[in-house]
Amino acid sequence: MPSFAADVKNALSRTDVDRACCQTAELAALLRMGASVQTDGARGAGLRFTAASAAVARRVIRLLRAMDGAIETSVAMERMPQLRRRTYIVNIAAGAAVTPLLAQLGFAGGSLRSTSDLALLRKKCCRAAYLRGAFLGGGSVNRPEAACHLEITARSEEMARALHTLLRRLHFPVGLTDRHEMYVVYLKEGDAVMDFLSLIGAEEAAEEIEVARNLKEVRAQVNRLVNVETANLQRAVDAAADQLAAIERLARSGRLAALPADLRETAEMRRAHPEISMAELAALCHISKSGMSHRLRKIRKASEEEQD
């Protein structure tokens, strides 16, 4: 996981959620993203939640305790050498307290898949909390300097579709794709990524992205200006080269001396200053730019007549 995304999640894990309705919504989304039901014979259903970071594991425990202080939890760390990282497992022991909790979270019948979370999403505050839970459970976001991209990877297509629908209803330009048997809901537009982060409570991250985006825009603008100037300079150099070639042709054939005084003056000035622009040449000859343009056209025409 990129460190910017980890920082965002750590900050989100520390935010306070005061309303019970929002705690339930966030916890439900977190559990849908990373929990599986563990049935334990006579004791009934428990849950096993897998978190990518200690902060997220702590968040789940905190939300569980807020809902029901009697819930028993234990945490284990597992190393995943092939991914060079650790995961944190929160075990919620099977027992009498768990079943009503699961029902309250919308996991009717102990299943993590069968129920829709619509009941949890009636209020605006809860929708934001639900999305925060989903992001904490499976989200990632590019660092501000990179191209704007935020995604939530769900293990089930049902959860991915639910997130996709919810984000679309909130008018986010959201995409949905599958990748290695995972389902990815993503945002690619800078405004959408910033709005999403603000919505779920990661205002600082949204600001960092905005600052980086403004810098990128300034840089692009400077590059465009440099490109325009380079093109202008190239045009001026090409034009000066053409003028010098015409003047040399006239000089070689002896017709330069026969030109009117103003054209001779211009030709001498150009030979003396091959590198300057037409505007600078005009200033040296104390005439207007259009006057200089007119003289240069006459010189070119005279050199072309010479060739016939």
Number of residues forming the site for Zn ion (CB under 5 A) = 6
129 versus 246: smaller Cβ distance to Zn ion: 129
162 versus 296: smaller Cβ distance to Zn ion: 162
Q: Give the span between the Cα atoms of 90 and 49, in whole angstroms.
A: 5
Token pair of 179, please?
Answer: 């990748």
In whole angstroms, how close is the CB of 29 to Zn ion at the nearest point? 12
In whole angstroms, how close is the CB of 134 to Zn ion at the nearest point? 15
29 binds Zn ion (CB under 5 A): no
Closest listed residue to residue 266, CA positions, set 285, 242, 249: 285
21 versus 71: smaller Cβ distance to Zn ion: 21
Q: Residue count of the chain, please give it.
A: 308
The CA–CA distances, whole Å, from 135 to 99, 102, 144, 229 equal 25, 21, 17, 45
Q: Give the span between the Cα atoms of 279 and 276, in whole angstroms.
A: 8
294 binds Zn ion (CB under 5 A): no
Site string for Zn ion, 68-107 (x = CB under 5 A): ----------------------------------------
Q: Give the span between the Cα atoms of 84 and 125, in whole angstroms.
A: 37
φ/ψ bin of 287: left (φ > 0), alpha (ψ from -120 to 50), beta (otherwise): beta
The shares of helix, strand and coil residues in the chain, as percent rounded to the nearest 5, are 60, 15, 25
Backbone angles phi and psi of 36, in degrees to 5: -130, 150
119 binds Zn ion (CB under 5 A): no
24 versus 87: smaller Cβ distance to Zn ion: 24
Q: Are 163 and 111 in contact (CB under 8 A)?
A: no
194 binds Zn ion (CB under 5 A): no
Of positions 51, 90, 126, 154, contacts Zn ion by CB under 5 A: 126
19 versus 65: smaller Cβ distance to Zn ion: 19
* Region binding Zn ion by CB under 5 A among candidate stretches 71-79, 92-100, 117-125, 150-158: 117-125
Q: Are 241 and 260 in contact (CB under 8 A)?
A: no
83 versus 125: smaller Cβ distance to Zn ion: 125
Token pair of 152, please?
Answer: 């939530």
Residues 2-21 interacting with Zn ion (rule: CB under 5 A): 19, 21
* Region binding Zn ion by CB under 5 A among candidate stretches 56-64, 118-126, 236-244, 261-269: 118-126
192 binds Zn ion (CB under 5 A): no
Footprint on this chain of Zn ion (rule: CB under 5 A): 19, 21-22, 123, 125-126
